[in-house]
Amino acid sequence: MIMKHLLLLFFTIILLIGCGNEQSDEQTIYVASASDLYHALTEIGDEFSENSDINIEFTYGSTGLLTQQIQEGAPFDLFLAAHESYIDRLIEREAVFEDSKEYYAIGRIVTMSSSEENVPLDKDYLLSPEVQHITIANPEHAPYGKAAKETLESWGIWEEIQPKLVLGENIRQSYQYVESGNADVGIIALALMNRTEFHYELIEEEAHEPILQALGIPVQTGKKDLAKSFMQFVLSERGQEILLEYGFDIP
């Protein structure tokens, strides 16, 4: 009796495998991208696909994880990292073509508040007892977190705010901590502010090392030409215009 059931199960599997064949995707490129680019790059990709016969599938994730995966041969055709150091590391390990590295944007950060009040979000406010939790992305592996840490250091309050600090896994998670009211203030990417109603203030450029964002083409791609044409669109006037709209600076 049980054998009959197993047989049935077995045929179900065969059916599942048979139907789930992978789509033919000669005109599709797979693009790995840092998650701070979500809104901007999706728009750039849509516009690109409309004007060409190339289809793009995006994988958004933390730059650290994607770097790790590309190093292990993940089948991506283009990689947009949140910081150039990751592209450099991949070039060093011969996982990305050396001549494909290009700067495509400079990231800016803001202090973002979860309260309605229009108080200045400066260092005195961060130190005040009203603010119980301050969130930044993990400076160990998130470029925006590193810039946030540098900012707090240059303001001279890094040590003092330690008890209030909550680390997000990536910049998007920090954004969600503030948005949900669980953190009073966050240091967040300007690029994530474009659809927000929350109060935020741009942090001066001098407060941290510039977040130079770079891209590169992984060596195992079979579609270097297609990847290049999308890369050129990102770097074109139109592509840069969209990035500018979403709060990036242009290199």
Partner 1 sequence: MDTIVTPLWLSLKVATIATIIAFVMGILLSWWFAFNNNKLTSFLSIVVTVPLIIPPTVLGYYLLLLLGRSSTLGQMVESITGQPIVFTWKAAVIAASIAALPLLIRPIQASFETINKETIQAAELDGAGKVQLLRHIIIPLAYKGILAGLVLGFARAMGEFGATLMVAGNIPGRTQTLSIAIYDAVQADRMMDAHVMVIILSLVTILFLYLIHRWFK
222 binds partner 1 (CB under 8 A): no
DSSP 249: B
CB of 202 to partner 1, least distance (A): 21
Interacting positions 92-151 with partner 1 (CB under 8 A): none
Q: Quick one: which of 120, 121, 116, 88 has its CA closest to 216?
A: 88
Let me know: does 151 contact 203? Beta carbons within 8 Å: yes
**Residue 26 in contact with partner 1, rule: CB under 8 A:** no
Supply angle C-alpha 213, 28, 91, rounded to 5.
35
Using CB under 8 A, pick the residue from 27, 68, 162, 232 that binds partner 1: 68
- Judged by CB under 8 A, the residue of 48, 60, 79, 86 near partner 1 is 60
- Only one of the segments 127-135, 144-152, 171-179, 241-249 lies at the binding site for partner 1 (rule: CB under 8 A); that segment is 171-179
Residues in the chain: 251
Site membership for partner 1, residue 63 (CB under 8 A): no
Residue 120 Cβ vs partner 1, minimum distance, rounded to whole Å:
27
Residue 38 within binding range of partner 1, rule CB under 8 A: yes
* 70, 74, 80, 84: CA torsion to nearest 10: 0
* DSSP state, residue 96: B
Using an 8 Å Cβ cutoff, are 36 and 107 in contact? Answer: yes
Question: Do 44 and 234 contact (CB within 8 A), yes or no?
Answer: yes
Query: Around 117, how many Cα atoms within 13 Å sit in the side-chain half-sphere?
Result: 8
Cβ contacts of 92 within 8 Å, gap of 6 or more: none
Residue 61 interacts with partner 1 (CB under 8 A)? yes
Residue 7 contacts partner 1 per CB under 8 A: no
Output the smallest distance, CB 95 to partner 1, in A: 10
Contacting range for partner 1; rule: CB under 8 A; set: 55-63, 133-141, 158-166, 240-248: 55-63
Binding site for partner 1 (CB under 8 A): 1-3, 5, 8-10, 12-13, 16-17, 19-20, 22-23, 25, 30, 35, 38, 57-61, 65, 68-69, 72-75, 172-173, 176
